């Protein structure tokens, strides 16, 4: 069972996966400071 979100960190990687899976991307801009 999935216990945490497996965030991608590269835009191109996520867009490519989205095209293959037919899913949109949830893009989270977060404050890392």
Partner 1 sequence: MDTVTYPESKVVRFIEENFIPLRVPSDSKPHAEKFNVKWTPTLITLSPEAQEHHRTVGFLGPEELISSLLLGLGKYHYENDRFDEALARLAQLVDGYGQSGSAPEAIFLVGVCSYKRSHDPKPLKAAYEKLSALFPDSEWTKRAYPYRLL
Tracing tokens 């216990």 back to the chain, one arrives at 3
Site string (1-33) toward partner 1, x via CB under 8 A: xxxxxxxxxxx--xx-xxx-xxxxxxxxxxxx-
Coil, strand, or helix at residue 16?
helix
Distance in angstroms (rounded) separating the CA atoms of residues 11 and 14: 5
Which residues of this protein are in contact with partner 1, per CB under 8 A? 1-11, 14-15, 17-19, 21-32
């Amino acid at each position: 069972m999935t216990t945490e979100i497996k965030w991608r960190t590269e835009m191109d990687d996520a867009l490519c996966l989205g095209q293959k899976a037919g899913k949109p991307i949830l893009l989270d801009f977060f404050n890392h400071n």
